[in-house]
Amino acid sequence: MSDSSGKLKLGALVALVVGSMIGGGIFSLPQNMAASAGVGAVLIGWAITAVGMLTLAFVFQTLANRKPDLDGGVYAYAKAGFGDYMGFSSAWGYWISAWLGNVGYFVLLFSTLGYFFPIFGEGNTPAAIVGASVLLWAVHFLVLRGIKEAAFINLVTTVAKVVPLVLFALICLFAFRLDIFTADIWALGTPELGSVMNQVRNMMLVTVWVFIGIEGASIFSSRAEKRSDVGKATVIGFITVLLFLVLVNVLSLGVMTQPELAKLQNPSMAAVLEHVVGHWGAVLISVGLVISLLGALLSWVLLCAEIMFAAAKDHTMPEFLRRENAKQVPANALWLTNAMVQIFLVITLFSSSTYLSLIYLATSMILVPYLWSAAYAFLLALRSETYEQALAERKKDLIIGAIALLYAIWLLYAGGVKYLLLSALLYAPGVILFAKAKREVGRPVFTNVEKLIFAAVVIGALVAAYGLYDGFLTL
């Protein structure tokens, strides 16, 4: 996959994109989608997602080529384009999204084991939380010892993910029945789903969740053998994953009806295959998912710590998050991350939060970093910055940037007020770390514009806190 100089070839970059995008989301897709939309809305939603996410993929490609000096991934673009507080908020939002996703992974992992051991239920019973906590700290101490995710583990988990998906698609292709698929295309028989527009909106957050990781190749752009391979890998990886997702989603709608799918326990792919071939189908999918989740957990735990560490290196985050242990692992960032995961695991025990409500929240937190990346790419093309000798490219990038920006704004709208307020509640406390980082370099905390933005965040957070207390908002 990579040559003697250790540079990554196209194949390795594609594997990185596919590996970081296929975590646990796809295994729950049949139920997640059926719970929020009928067949017609699902098809419309995938069409919008394909266009929107592809433009976002192009945005990361363009920024990797035009601003090669900005390492540190998504938050560096927000900082360069919109100032320090926006840069900090992007790093903070991305970090929270990543560890909230890990909480979601733990819930899904024990929900899968619940299929074999009923004591784990849907992944949020006391036994499941104890099991998840033990596993969390086992991974934590494994990473502290300097064990980076070996290429071998990555290879094993990638194969373990893809084999069950291919088998699922082939089997369901033969079991697919058009009469089931077309029985109630607009979900008129389930009025609680609302209008088609509402259904499309509701499924959008799930589609974003399964694509998180699309920025994977651009993060590794400095290690690519050919810079041009980064864009290619992003697009090839994106199309491969999109194909898998649409196949899994659409084929299951022709095997079981939308109301049947909506009632399944996750991972719902297991139940769909069991419906077709019997018990061994569920076992196959469950084993594939457990291996897939363990691989994803390890890489995302590393990623969470890496985000905080990178942001601390350029004084976006406080100094203490830069500290590494003897094995060059950013230990403080790792402790902070996994302490948050532990707190939220305990919260899932007392609140009704299921896998789906956790991923909705994780997704709404990542929308802000995506929005600023798209806005920055649009701004560069608008100002002709770095386009002095490339006017034709500027036009193309201006259009792509505009579509990606509109898509990111639409996603915030699709997420709805509830998740916007809940994410404000998670964004607001970050100011403590931001102020600490600013004091360390002896600079004032906010500019005048940033004071206004922070005031808006605080108001949102107060409304959310009151909402949770009063009960008109729930986790």
Model confidence pLDDT, tens digit, residues 102-157 = 998 899 999 899 988 999 988 889 999 999 999 999 989 888 887 555 556 766 77
pLDDT of 238-264, one tens digit each?
Answer: 999 999 999 999 999 999 999 999 999
Q: Is 190 left (phi over 0), alpha (psi -120 to 50) or beta?
A: beta
Q: What percent of the chain is modeled with pLDDT above 90?
A: 57
190, burial (CB in 10 Å: exposed 0-12, middle 13-18, buried 19+): middle
Contact 92, 427 (CB under 8 A): yes
Q: 2 φ, ψ to 5°?
A: -125, 155
Q: What is the dihedral of CA 347, 350, 354, 359, to 10 degrees?
A: -20
pTM above 0.85, yes or no: yes
How far apart are alpha carbons 225 and 223 in whole angstroms?
Answer: 7
Contact 327, 388 (CB under 8 A): no
Look at 55 and 20; give whichever has higher pLDDT.
Answer: 55
Q: Which residues sit opposite 224 in a β-bridge?
A: 8
Q: Which residues sit opposite 2 in a β-bridge?
A: 8
